Amino acid sequence: MSITYDSNYKTRKILLQYVPLDSLRALTRQLLRRTALPAEHADIIADALVTSELRNLQGQGQGVRRVRAYVERVASGDLNVHAPYEVVKESLCLALIDAHNGPGTVVAVRSMNLAVQKAKACGIGVVVVRHSTHFGSASYSASQALNHGCIGVSMTNAGPEMAPWGGIEPVLGTNPWAVAVPTGDREDDMPIILDMALTMAGKGMMGWLMRDRRRMPRTWAITKDGRETDDPAEAMDGTLLPIGDYKGYGLSLITDVLTGVLGGGAFGTQPYSNPAFQDVGHQFIAYDIDWFMDRQTFYRRMAEFIATIRNSRKRPGVEEILLPGELEWRRMQEKKQHGVPLDPDIYEDLRRLAAELDVAWPFT
Ligand SMILES: NC(=O)c1ccc[n+]([C@@H]2O[C@H](COP(=O)([O-])OP(=O)(O)OC[C@H]3O[C@@H](n4cnc5c(N)ncnc54)[C@H](O)[C@@H]3O)[C@@H](O)[C@H]2O)c1
């Protein structure tokens, strides 16, 4: 029997801890500022983690649960806080960057800004990065393009968790992509943001279902000997399945070509194999809409396109058609208003971390 996955999944058995957004943001900043990261970089990483916490589901693993890992990676020297952002090669519309094991989120934001700068000169800007580290949610850097009237594309390779189609051995990453498209110049104009890993789900989400004592869809992962399963525990040491069967496998392979192979860094089984040198590859693209047409014309065309999609006929039982990024947009509004529901394990971990770093605990 296949189990459908409610994309607005609400936990049944895990008691979430609601915290106010402002205090969570301040705490995350303070914790990261206690490290050797330059304050400006600590703030970028904090903002990215909190934004992911607002957009994503608790099990998806890109939010504030990562604070401890960042703090520890800085303390151990596994992350190079003084890494130069080296422009290896550059033309008017292209750049190749060596990130020298610097913080991936900061590298990603900087690279998207560079891609935007180049798009303003050429219509399009492409920045390929090698020797970077984990950059978090792909939409965070892709969205940097929005305020400049650009469409932003961010992609990255990742550690091997997916087998090639027909295989068992993990040799490809979840290799997420985000494409952020502005629909207007006002802050409340919801952009279209497709932000997706190329696997059906990640191990974080499987772990979450395991804790919630739920089965998982059989399309998510196979066991280590290649059997289908709906038991997240059994699949934890197996491999993740791609989106769209062999097509997702192909997309993941191509993403590694466009990031790791083309950038001159690690690819396939190599990224993340050495914790002290994750060697992650990224690519960032910015399209300057004004190069193609007047921006207001583009927005009108987008509105027409969106109306066509929304007004199309629905399948039985479907109440509304959503746009990419719409669920996350709604989650953000809801969490801003009613508080951020934290995984209780992460809440406790943050509390311990605050005590270890002598940061005042803001929640009662
Ligand atoms: N840095 C890394 O190594 C890494 C690796 C994997 C994932 N990630 C991040 O994890 C996050 C989660 O990724 P994911 O693939 O699990 O996301 P997801 O499956 O929840 O969503 C993927 C996309 O589908 C859209 N979507 C979902 N339901 C929809 C519906 N009913 N109608 C229309 N659109 C719908 C969402 O808006 C989103 O754009 C992302 O931010 C991703 O960048 C990062």
Residue 216 lies in a domain: no
Shared domain for 59 and 100, answered yes or no, is no
The rounded radius of gyration (Å) of the Cα atoms in the chain is 20
Do 170 and 96 lie in one domain? The reply is: yes
Residue 76 Cα, ligand 1 centroid: separation in angstroms?
31
Cβ count within 10 A of residue 361: 13
Three-class SS state of 86: strand
CB 112 within 8 A of CB 145: yes
For residue 288, the model assigns a pLDDT of 98
Counting the structural domains of the chain, the total is 2
Q: What domain range is 172 assigned to?
A: 82-199+242-311
- Is 180 in the same domain as 142? yes
DSSP code of residue 87: E
- Using the mean position of ligand 1's atoms as its centre, give its distance from the Cα of residue 90 in Å: 32
Which of these three, 311, 336, 356, is where a domain ends? 311
User: Which ligand 1 atom is the nearest neighbour of the CA of 323?
Assistant: 33
Q: Measured in angstroms, how far is the CA atom of residue 41 from the centroid of ligand 1?
A: 25
- Compute the distance between CA of residue 328 and CA of residue 324 in angstroms, rounded to an integer: 9
Q: Which of 311, 336, 351 is the last residue of a domain?
A: 311
Residue 211 lies in a domain: no
Do 252 and 303 have their domain in common? yes
CA nearest ligand 1 atom 25, residue: 324
Smallest CA separation from ligand 1 atom 17, residue: 196
Alpha-carbon distance of 184 to 302, in angstroms, equals 9
Alpha-carbon torsion, ordered 272, 280, 177, 193, to 10 deg? 100
Distance 358 CA to ligand 1 centre (A): 35
Q: 154 CA distance to ligand 1 centroid (A)?
A: 13
| 2 assigned to some structural domain | no
What pLDDT is stored for residue 329 in this prediction? 96
Which atom, in ligand 1's list, is nearest to the CA of 134? 1
| Judgement on whether residues 154 and 56 belong to the same structural domain of the protein | no
In a domain, 57, yes or no: yes
Q: Tens of pLDDT along 68-77?
A: 999 999 999 9
Range 321-337 average pLDDT: 95
Residue 4 inside a domain? The answer is no
CATH number of the domain encompassing residue 121: 3.30.1370.60
Residues 125 and 192 in one domain: yes
User: How far is it, in rounded angstroms, from Cα 271 to Cα 267?
Assistant: 6
CB 286 within 8 A of CB 149: no
Task: Indicate which atom in ligand 1 lies nearest the CA of residue 140.
Answer: 41
Pocket test for ligand 1, best of 6, 140, 327 (most atoms within 8 A of CB): 327
| pLDDT at position 4 over 60 | no
* Same domain membership, residue 288 and residue 142: yes
Alpha carbon distances (Å) from 349 to 3, 51, 94, 101, 164: 32, 19, 42, 26, 36
Ligand 1, CB cutoff 6 Å, lining residues = 7, 56, 60, 62, 134-139, 156, 158, 174, 176, 178, 193-197, 201-202, 322, 324-325, 327-328
Task: Provide the token pair at 316.
Answer: 């039985």
Torsion on CA atoms 250, 253, 254, 257, rounded to nearest 10? -160
Going from the Cα of 28 to the center of ligand 1, the distance in angstroms, rounded, reads: 23
Of 100, 81, 67, nearest in space to 39 by CA = 81
Claim to verify: residue 166 and residue 292 sit in the same structural domain: yes
Say how many Å lie between the CA of residue 116 and the centre of ligand 1. 24
Given a cut of 70, is residue 337 above it in pLDDT?
yes
**Co-location of 172 and 248 in the same domain:** yes
The pLDDT assigned to 10 comes to: 62
Amino acid at 246: Y
Q: Whose CA is nearest to atom 26 of ligand 1?
A: 324
Are residues 340 and 252 located together in one domain of the fold? Answer: no
Instruction: Indicate which atom in ligand 1 lies nearest the CA of residue 62.
Output: 10
Q: State the distance from the centre of ligand 1 to the C-alpha of 196, rounded, in angstroms.
A: 4
pLDDT band at 289 (very low <50, low <70, confident <90, very high): very high
Q: Nearest residue CA, atom 6 of ligand 1?
A: 197
Residue 259 makes CB contacts below 8 A (sequence gap 6+) with 128, 129, 155, 156, 157, 175, 265, 267, 280, 281, 282, 283
Which residue's C-alpha comes closest to atom 30 of ligand 1? Answer: 322
CATH code (residue 348): 1.10.1530.10
Contact 129, 94 (CB under 8 A): no
| Residue 76: other Cβ atoms inside 10 A | 10
Tell me if 290 is assigned to some domain.
yes
What pLDDT, in 10s, does the model give residues 117-162? 999 999 999 999 999 999 999 999 999 999 999 999 999 999 999 9
Averaged pLDDT of the chain: 95
Residue 317 lies in a domain: no
Contacts of 194 (CB under 8 A, 6+ apart): 177, 178, 179, 324, 325
Mean pLDDT of 282-286: 99
Distance 2 CA to ligand 1 centre (A): 21
Together in a domain, 187 and 142: yes
- Report how many helices (DSSP H) and strands (DSSP E) the chain contains, helices first: 13, 11
Rounded to whole angstroms, the Cα distance separating 355 from 352 reads: 5
C-alpha to C-alpha distance for 296 and 17, rounded to whole angstroms? 43
Q: Residues near 208 by Cβ (< 8 Å), separated by ≥ 6?
A: 11, 14, 57, 58, 59, 343
Q: Is residue 72 part of a domain?
A: yes
Query: Is there a single domain that holds both residue 142 and residue 261?
Result: yes
Pairing of strands 94-98, 340-342: unpaired
